[in-house]
Amino acid sequence: MLGRVVKGIGGFYYVDDGKRVHMGNARKNLKRGKSIIYVGDIVEFDLRQEDGDCIITKVRERKNFLSRPPVSNLDKLVVVFAAAFPNPNNLIIDKFTTAILYNNIEVIICITKPDLVSENDLKELVSTYDKAFPVVVVNGKNGDGIDRLYDLMKGSNVALAGPSGVGKSTIMNHITGRNDIETGDISDKTARGRHTTRHVEIFSIDNDTHFYDTPGFTSLDMPRLDRYHVRDYFPEINAFKGCCKYLDCIHVDEPECAVKGALEKGEISKTRYESYLSILEEVKKWQK
């Protein structure tokens, strides 16, 4: 039989075969090393006749996987951050999107708490990212923007990621139609949120859309990129590939650089470009 692992707690796995969810465990050889089972895995399993529980016998090849949190086969990752309280950290966001794209996952940008900033500040925040990724503004209080976000997610395996306290669980409740996914308050001392999700679990919104609820999904490790490949993970910069005078242009101080020209025209966000330069400097240090 074939199914998707939708939850794993204490060595037990829950496998959805499309008709029902079976609880069970895995063969010993699937519990260690590279054979470890991730939520999101497509697995082959047998049913025990005595109790109907399942035994996972094989993990099908993955499209991708992340070790923290342990999930696999993601199509899209929604990067959620608030317009304010907590204030967005653009460099952290841009490192995050770089790591996501490196792992063969599409990025959706979701900005919450739009009512806490001016209309002009919100427009500027949107314009920072809309040349690179789909951007949606969501108001968790009244649900504005949820339908647009769902349209972007539909037909995909999707997770939400971002700092605590930006409204990820509230978005989850809106999209799934549930009201039992715990939401957290902002800490008065840190102006950050408190983690409320404690294990990874997949909720099926429809037959083709699967929503990963994940604990503490606030960052990903930066991949060890070559300095000539950083540009590949900034879509608005990579769009000018082949347009510069030099094919190996990394868009810093080379003459006749198409990216620098686009930056001057406002076709590329200055904030994003500064993040690109910061990541490039980090990569150079790694390569020394």
Report DSSP letters for 82-94, one per residue.
ESSSSPP-HHHHH
Residue 249 annotated as binding site: yes
Judgement on whether residues 53 and 144 belong to the same structural domain of the protein:
no
Residue 135 annotated as binding site: no
Residue 196 annotated as binding site: no
Res 180: pLDDT? 55
Residue 54 annotated as binding site: no
Judgement on whether residues 127 and 172 belong to the same structural domain of the protein:
yes
Residue 164 annotated as binding site: yes
Q: What's the CATH code of the domain at 250?
A: 1.10.40.50
Last residue of a domain, one of 161, 182, 213: 213
Q: Is 272 helix (H, G, I), strand (E, B) or coil?
A: helix
Judgement on whether residues 55 and 92 belong to the same structural domain of the protein:
no
Residue numbers of the domain that contains 8: 2-61
Judgement on whether residues 81 and 205 belong to the same structural domain of the protein:
yes
Residue 115 annotated as binding site: yes
- Parallel, antiparallel, or unpaired for β 210-213 and 42-47? unpaired
Judgement on whether residues 127 and 165 belong to the same structural domain of the protein:
yes
Judgement on whether residues 82 and 209 belong to the same structural domain of the protein:
yes
Residue 163 annotated as binding site: yes
Res 50: pLDDT? 78
Last residue of a domain, one of 43, 61, 79: 61
In a domain, 222, yes or no: no
In a domain, 194, yes or no: yes
Provide the number of structural domains found in the chain. 3
Residue 168 annotated as binding site: yes
* Per-residue model confidence as pLDDT tens for the chain (288 residues): 999 999 999 889 999 999 999 999 998 877 666 668 999 999 999 998 778 789 999 999 999 999 888 899 999 999 999 999 999 999 999 999 999 999 999 999 999 999 999 999 999 999 999 999 999 999 999 999 999 999 999 999 999 998 888 999 899 888 888 665 554 444 444 344 444 446 899 998 988 999 998 876 777 888 989 999 999 999 999 999 999 999 999 999 999 999 999 999 999 999 999 999 999 999 988 876
Q: Is 109 helix (H, G, I), strand (E, B) or coil?
A: strand
What pTM was computed for the model?
0.89
Q: Do the beta carbons of residue 172 and residue 160 sit within 8 Å?
A: yes
Residue 244 annotated as binding site: yes
DSSP annotation of 133:
S
Structural element, H or E, at residue 152? helix 146-153
